[in-house]
Amino acid sequence: MVAYIRTMAVERKQWLDEGSFRDGVALCQTIPGATAMQTAAYVGLRARGVGGAIVSFVGFGLPAFILMLTFSALYTYTHTVPAVISAFSGLQAIIVAIIANATVSFGKTTLKNWGTIVIAVVAAVLFGIGVNPLIVIAAAALFGLVLMKGQNAFHSAGAPTQQPLSMKPFALFLTFVVAVFILLLLIQRQLFDLAILMFRIDLFAFGGGFASVPLMFHEIVQVRHWMDSSTFLNGIALGQVTPGPIVITATFVGYMLYGLPGGLAATFGVFSPSCLMVIGVVPYFDRLRASLYFNRAMSGILSSFVGLLLTVTVRFASPVQWDFPHVLFACAALVALLLKVDILWVVLIGTALSVVVL
């Protein structure tokens, strides 16, 4: 999706130059949240200011949100139909492969020396024995400061990102976000708690949308027991059919808990930090990335997510009925993903085969 955004913004519309776009991608890969959505917001910010960032962000995520609401509503009425049960049974094995592939991808780009490997292993063990993921992430940042002494600072290859930006629109948007949370608190405390939880999950999802999976799984399934792991896996499967990031699973969770108001509250909670951070961090990004301490801490945090995703892969695999067809589906999906087959085709073909075979 980032490549498509680049083609549109740099080549077709010429809203910003190549160097500025590369800096924006670097920013969105550094801060927590869904990278593609934040890249869209960054383009909007450069083209039309804070207002442009907000409408780009909303416009990019709106199709996935509408589709996920539709799928969630259909799921509540059809999840007991035999054909649907078969489809999700196969998809659960495929989702295990998708998370395993995300673990491999994170590992290839993150685990570059013995220090990062140690952090990943320790994070996997801590998460495996039930330590809160946020504590694991904080500990990983401290380990990164100590172990990553050779970590280099970032140097921008393009135009500086410290171009003057008025903070008044940002302050107005921040006020709006706070006002929505207050309104949710006044309307229904459960909706407020759900939105705040999703806000916190996205706030610590360093490394892109997949980094939210272990955090959401821990909070939704293990701590609060709002749904079982199989239903959560089904929500991830539905999210992979939409054109949006994997954090759109929050819409499914909210809808299953409180219907349409829950879907709206969860979606607002999980996406608002990403938009706020893009708008708020851009003027200070070069200074931030030039800090050796920041880069060391980020290396530690990203390494911990390799361990967290590995543990989640194992936990997602536990409720799956691992007979020959399920093993075959998972292995075929993993091979296809490693060969760079589009994830949408993997999910759609897997769904069709599940209905026929299982």
Determine whether 316 is exposed, middle or buried from the number of CB atoms within 10 Å of its CB (0-12, 13-18, 19+).
buried
Does the pLDDT value for residue 209 go beyond 80? no
**Would you state the pLDDT for residue 11?**
87
Handedness of CA 138, 176, 191, 264 (dihedral sign): negative
In angstroms, how far is CA 172 from the centroid of its own chain? 26
Stronger pLDDT, 169 or 296, i.e. the higher one: 296
Residue 190 counted as domain residue: yes
- How many structural domains compose the chain? 1
Q: What is the pTM of this model?
A: 0.82
Owning domain of residue 140: 2-79+113-318
Question: Which band of pLDDT confidence, cut at 50, 70 and 90, is reported for residue 159?
Answer: very low
**Amino acid at site 261:** P
In angstroms, how far is CA 301 from the centroid of its own chain? 15
**Would you state the pLDDT for residue 213?**
87
Residue 52 counted as domain residue: yes
Residue 96 counted as domain residue: no
**For 182-187, what is the mean pLDDT?**
95
CB 72 within 8 A of CB 255: yes
* Helix H or strand E segment including 27: helix 18-30
Residue 237 counted as domain residue: yes
Rounded Cα gap, residues 184 and 199, in angstroms: 13
**Would you state the pLDDT for residue 166?**
59
Q: List Cβ neighbours of 47 (8 Å cut-off, separation of 6 or more).
A: 9, 13, 15, 16, 56
Give residue-wise pLDDT tens across range 80-124.
888 888 888 898 899 899 889 988 988 888 888 888 899 999 999
Lowest mean pLDDT among 77-81, 208-212, 282-286: 282-286
Question: Which band of pLDDT confidence, cut at 50, 70 and 90, is reported for residue 158?
Answer: very low
Handedness of CA 47, 290, 30, 17 (dihedral sign): positive
Residue 59 counted as domain residue: yes
**Amino acid at site 35:** T
Stronger pLDDT, 200 or 30, i.e. the higher one: 200
Residue 337 counted as domain residue: no
Handedness of CA 73, 75, 76, 77 (dihedral sign): positive
Stronger pLDDT, 5 or 185, i.e. the higher one: 185
Residue 343 counted as domain residue: no
What is the 8-class DSSP label of residue 33?
S
Rounded Cα gap, residues 250 and 245, in angstroms: 10
Give residue-wise pLDDT tens across range 14-49.
898 888 888 888 788 778 888 888 999 999 988 888
CB 90 within 8 A of CB 357: yes
Give residue-wise pLDDT tens across range 265-287.
999 999 999 899 888 887 777 67
Rounded Cα gap, residues 185 and 183, in angstroms: 5
Question: Which band of pLDDT confidence, cut at 50, 70 and 90, is reported for residue 151?
Answer: low
CB 313 within 8 A of CB 96: yes
Question: Which band of pLDDT confidence, cut at 50, 70 and 90, is reported for residue 163?
Answer: very low
Give residue-wise pLDDT tens across range 331-348.
999 999 999 888 888 988
Residue 239 counted as domain residue: yes
Helix (H, G, I), strand (E, B) or coil at 1: coil
E strands of 252-342, at which residues? Answer: none
Question: Which band of pLDDT confidence, cut at 50, 70 and 90, is reported for residue 134?
Answer: confident
CB 206 within 8 A of CB 298: yes
Does the pLDDT value for residue 207 go beyond 50? yes
What is the 8-class DSSP label of residue 244?
S
Rounded Cα gap, residues 41 and 55, in angstroms: 8
Task: Quote the longest CA-to-CA distance of the chain.
Answer: 59
**Would you state the pLDDT for residue 107?**
87
Give residue-wise pLDDT tens across range 5-15.
888 888 888 89
Encoding tokens for residue 198? 């999703």
